[in-house]
Amino acid sequence: MPVPKKRRSKSKKRMKTARWKIVVPNLRPCPECNALGRPHFVCSVCGFYKGRPVILTSSASNNAPSNDLAASE
Ligand SMILES: [Zn+2]
C-alpha cells in the first residue's frame, strides 16, 4: 500500500480543502411526470426513460400501465 513520504503541512492541507466546493447537480423536469431529476437518468418518480417505462414504480403502475413490459413478460 502506498504511503506518503512526508507529512503534509497545515498550510498545504488547508490550501487543498479550500478548493472543495458543494456542487449543485443539474436538474431537469421529467417529460412524463414533471418531477425534477437528473438528465440521462431514469426518473425516480415514474420510472420512465426516453418516453418508455424502464422500472416499475408504484406511481407508474397506477398512472401509466406499461404495454411494453406486459408484452415482454
Ligand atoms: Zn417522471
The per-residue pLDDT for 39 is 92
Q: Is residue 18 part of a domain?
A: no
Q: Is residue 6 part of a domain?
A: no
Cβ count within 10 A of residue 48: 21
Q: Is residue 40 part of a domain?
A: yes
How many Å lie between the centroid of ligand 1 and the Cα of residue 12?
Answer: 45
How many Å lie between the centroid of ligand 1 and the Cα of residue 5?
Answer: 50
pTM above 0.85, yes or no: no
The per-residue pLDDT for 63 is 54
Q: Is residue 44 part of a domain?
A: yes
- Tally of domains within the chain: 1
C-beta of residue 47 within 8 angstroms of C-beta of residue 56: yes
Size of the chain, expressed as the number of residues it contains: 73
d(C-alpha 52, C-alpha 69), whole Å: 10
Three-state SS sequence of 36-54: EECCCCCCCCCCEECCEEC
The per-residue pLDDT for 14 is 96
Task: Give residue-wise pLDDT tens across range 17-73.
Answer: 999 999 888 999 998 899 999 999 999 899 999 888 888 877 645 555 555 554 444
How many Å lie between the centroid of ligand 1 and the Cα of residue 21?
Answer: 29
How many Å lie between the centroid of ligand 1 and the Cα of residue 49?
Answer: 8
| Coil/strand/helix, residue 70 | helix
